[in-house]
């Protein structure tokens, strides 16, 4: 989905026989129904299966005579009709694959039968690559225009985050679409969900780019991929959220910043805590502290924090707990003792 701006035009050729096929990413057994016309247009980008357009994708997976799954593929909870994941199955590889059968009922567009090995050379998801000044982007084939637009937006966010963090990264970011939803990110690497940034998404809407920008925030704060120790989620997740907020503010304006802040997880528990002394969410507490520091000292305090936190100078704080390290470093940079605030909210 892409809403054209005033005086912007786009020519689209479409039509001809539909060519449905199953595409699979073995990781977490992610399965997609890719339906192209004669011009390579992918149906999921133009034909929303919701409201009056309901899908009936009768789907069965079996191996050695045992049924592993049977039901309507399009109605599996949590994902869209054209893609779902089955982490409880597999992982399987070529040569060790179950069989599948799928009957596609696309209402006025016709009925189709697909069957064969779930994992094969024909069903493995095919990828293309794009290179930009700061990204090496690997994305599912058939989404060239959308991928180009997404990468254009990510370059804008990259420039804003680089200005916040004091400069570009030393290496390009490896950016891949190989998970179903949400995202992950860390040192010079990020992954996004196929359903998060491609299926039916309008890149002009800030909602559609919140997760990629958040993961880019992880990249710029140099947090390793998928590290959930003491620092995550209470610190590194909120830092990524905060960097995302600063990036979206520069591009979309202050109103979007206010909207974004209002959607931060756990932040409302802080307001209630100050009113009624109720329990608080630790991540929400850190989000509140980030916003308070930025309002009083500007975004530069966070850039300096990131620089020291990821340098040898941090070793001077090593005898302390992680919470006390964060409090001490921000207090040092602000010239004010923030320990009481951290003790009240984060400990």
Angle between helices 206-220 and 236-252 (to 10 degrees): 130
H or E segment and range at residue 326? helix 322-334
Residue-by-residue pLDDT tens, the chain, 347 positions: 456 667 777 777 777 788 888 989 888 888 888 888 877 777 766 555 554 555 678 899 999 999 999 988 877 665 566 777 887 887 888 888 999 999 988 777 778 899 999 999 999 988 999 999 999 999 988 788 888 888 888 898 898 888 877 778 888 999 998 877 778 887 788 988 877 777 655 555 666 677 888 899 888 876 443 333 446 677 778 888 888 888 788 777 788 788 878 777 677 777 777 788 887 777 778 888 888 888 888 888 887 887 777 777 777 777 888 788 888 888 999 998 888 877 777 76
Structure tokens at 79: 């994902």
Tell me how far apart the alpha carbons of residues 16 and 27 are, in angstroms, rounded to a whole number: 33
What does the domain layout of the chain look like in residue ranges?
19-117, 127-220, 264-345
Choose among 108, 36, 44, 110: nearest CA to 74: 44
Q: How much is the pLDDT for 106?
A: 75
Choose among 158, 244, 150: nearest CA to 193: 150
Give CA torsion, residues 47, 182, 287, 345, to 10 deg: 130
- Phi, psi for residue 346 in degrees, rounded to 5: -100, -40
> Are the C-beta atoms of 200 and 45 separated by less than 8 Å?
yes
> Are the C-beta atoms of 32 and 24 separated by less than 8 Å?
yes
SS (H, E, C) 111-131: EEEEEEECCCCCCECCEEEEE
Give me the sign of the Cα torsion angle 113, 118, 122, 124: positive
Q: pLDDT tens digits for 216-273?
A: 988 887 644 333 344 667 777 888 888 888 878 877 778 878 887 877 767 777 777 7
The domain 127-220 is placed in CATH, from the list 3.40.50.11540, 1.10.390.10, 3.40.50.150, 2.40.260.10, at 1.10.390.10
Helix-, strand-, coil-residue percentages of the chain, each rounded to 5: 40, 20, 40
CATH top-level class for 19-117?
A: mainly beta
Tell me how far apart the alpha carbons of residues 247 and 221 are, in angstroms, rounded to a whole number: 14
Choose among 209, 185, 206, 189: nearest CA to 197: 209
Q: How much is the pLDDT for 200?
A: 56
């Amino acid at each position: 989905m892409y809403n054209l701006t005033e005086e912007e035009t786009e020519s689209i050729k479409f039509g001809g026989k539909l060519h449905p096929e199953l595409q699979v990413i073995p990781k977490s057994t992610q399965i997609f129904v890719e339906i192209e016309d004669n011009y390579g247009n992918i149906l999921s980008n133009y034909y929303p299966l919701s409201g009056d357009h309901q899908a009936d994708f009768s789907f069965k997976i079996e191996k050695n005579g045992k049924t592993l799954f049977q039901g309507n593929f399009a109605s599996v909870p949590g994902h869209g009709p054209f893609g779902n994941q089955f982490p409880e199955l597999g992982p399987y590889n070529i040569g060790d694959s179950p069989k599948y059968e799928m009957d596609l009922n696309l209402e006025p567009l016709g009925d189709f039968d697909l069957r064969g090995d779930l994992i094969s050379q024909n069903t493995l998801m095919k990828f293309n690559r794009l290179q930009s000044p700061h990204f090496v982007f690997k994305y599912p084939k058939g989404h060239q225009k959308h991928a180009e637009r997404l990468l254009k937006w990510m370059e804008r966010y990259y420039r804003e985050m680089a200005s916040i963090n004091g400069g570009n990264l030393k290496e390009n970011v490896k950016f891949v679409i190989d998970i179903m939803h949400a995202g992950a990110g860390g040192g010079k690497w990020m992954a996004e969900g196929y359903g998060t940034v491609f299926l039916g998404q309008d890149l002009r809407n800030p909602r559609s780019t919140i997760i990629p920008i958040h993961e880019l925030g992880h990249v710029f704060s140099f947090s390793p991929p998928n590290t959930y120790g003491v620092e995550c989620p209470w610190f590194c997740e909120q830092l990524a959220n905060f960097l995302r907020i600063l990036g979206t503010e520069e591009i979309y304006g202050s109103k979007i910043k206010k909207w974004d802040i209002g959607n931060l997880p756990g932040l409302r528990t802080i307001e209630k805590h100050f009113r009624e002394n109720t329990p608080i969410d630790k991540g929400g507490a850190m989000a509140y502290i980030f916003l308070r520091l930025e309002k009083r000292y500007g975004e530069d305090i966070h850039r300096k924090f990131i620089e020291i936190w990821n340098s040898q100078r941090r070793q001077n704080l090593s005898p302390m707990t992680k919470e006390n390290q964060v409090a001490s470093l921000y207090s040092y940079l602000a010239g004010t003792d923030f320990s009481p605030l951290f003790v009240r909210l984060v400990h």
